[in-house]
Amino acid sequence: MIDLKFLRENPQAVKDNIQKKFQDHKLPLVDEVIELDGQSRAAKQEADALRANRNVISKQIGALMGQGKKEEAMALKEQVQKDAKRLEELEAKEKRLTEKVMEIMMKIPNIIDPSVPIGKDDSCNVELEKFGEPCVPDFEIPYHTEIMERLNGIDLDAAGKVAGNGFYYLMGDIARLHSAVISYARDFMIDRGFTYCIPPYMIRSNVVTGVMSFDEMEAMMYKIEGEDLYLIGTSEHSMIGKFIDTIQEEEKLPHTLTSYSPCFRKEKGAHGIEERGVYRIHQFEKQEMIVVCKPEESPAWYETLWKNTVDLFRSLDVPVRTLECCSGDLADLKVKSCDVEAWSPRQQKYFEVGSCSNLGDAQARRLKIRVKGKDGNKYFAHTLNNTVVAPPRMLIAFLENNLNADGSVNIPNALQPYMGGKAKIGLNEPGQ
């Protein structure tokens, strides 16, 4: 959410930003906010004048009563009662208008960074850099679920009977590989100075609306019936919510946290064959990283965060690239974002395995996460988040890039301690 004062003073800049995001249907919202804000401020001004006048009249009434001028005092009391009724109306009006302004402001997209490429959708995203040499072996690579099935590592049919589509049972060495990746990612981030955290897996609605747009909320979140709780779609929401309604001491920033959690998502819509299996699912686990920092530090932290993910994937012998998200592909709260994509030898193209975002002060403004400077002044923090690793998609990239012609899978050195020292898993390995 952008600053109301900024919108009030720079309405055209806000409209230009809306157009850059190809959301022209939201252009009228700017004028609507200005009109309602003007009405709210006028109501407040009149209410303040009535309160000030009430204090003056109260003193006059006391003086008149002391002078025995009861009739004049009673006349003023009638005026106070009349003003009190008007004041009550104005306070209700101001409250109603303020809430309406806030509701509309939540729909207006954040101001994007000047470096963001302008484009309507993800087809306009821009490749930044490749890391590692993408290879295609001289043998056919099966679909990822087929690789897992050959290793007795997945059961989609049983999961479908138990929970429906979008769920799976992971078994044997594939299940162990899944857990190994999570454990490795945890230690990888701890070694980089991040504090490990396991957050609540459910959050209240005020946290949900504080960390994401209404469109995202509707498309992603599962609501707990009868309670003001939602299952988290990603742990960054719970992690940022940890700082709700707080004043952070400037000298204690930044807060750098890495979190493990299961994630639950609706994943609405039909998807192609390459997005079936374990690519788009309703339940998965993930290691995440978030930063709460001073505004001037967020660009540097943005660079650090996406590099962490690149380094982790490269340590597991998976080629990746970074992709700058264009204006039309940015969620409303984001200032700047890039995707980390892993190489798929099967598809001979890259696919998304993580997303790094700088949200400026948008989440902090909604959640009232403020910083107290050394001079005593308060300002809103900046928040950032990035995927360390989400094993379902990581498993696809890992299996395809480490698969051998005989169906066995190599385990990179970095991961071997988390796999009981195994250098390879194969069809005849114990645990299959």
Tens digit of pLDDT per residue, the chain (432 long)? Answer: 899 999 999 999 999 999 999 999 999 999 999 999 999 999 988 888 877 776 666 666 666 666 666 666 666 666 767 777 878 888 899 999 999 999 999 999 999 999 999 999 999 999 999 999 999 999 999 999 999 999 999 999 998 899 888 889 999 999 999 999 999 999 999 999 999 999 999 999 999 999 987 777 777 889 999 999 999 999 999 999 999 999 999 999 999 999 999 999 887 554 444 456 777 788 899 999 999 999 999 999 999 999 999 999 999 999 999 999 999 999 999 999 999 999 999 999 999 999 999 999 999 999 999 999 989 999 999 999 999 999 888 999 999 999 999 999 999 999 999 999 999 998 665 544
> How deeply is 427 buried, as exposed, middle or buried, from its count of CB atoms within 10 A (0-12, 13-18, 19+)?
exposed
Task: Give Cα separations from 410 to 187, 330, 397, 401 (angstroms).
Answer: 21, 37, 13, 9
pLDDT the model gives residue 201: 95
Query: Which residues, in sequence order, are bridge partners of residue 343?
Result: 350
Q: What is the pLDDT of residue 29?
A: 97
Q: Is 71 helix (H, G, I), strand (E, B) or coil?
A: helix
pLDDT of residue 429: 56
**How far is it, in rounded angstroms, from Cα 61 to Cα 55?**
10
pLDDT for 271: 46
Q: In the prediction, which pLDDT does 164 show?
A: 86
Query: In whole angstroms, what is the distance from residue 78 CA to residue 137 CA?
Result: 91
User: How far is 222 from 287, CA to CA, in rounded Å?
Assistant: 20
H-helix or E-strand containing 177?
Answer: helix 172-191
- Give the separation between CA 268 and CA 121, rounded to whole angstroms: 18
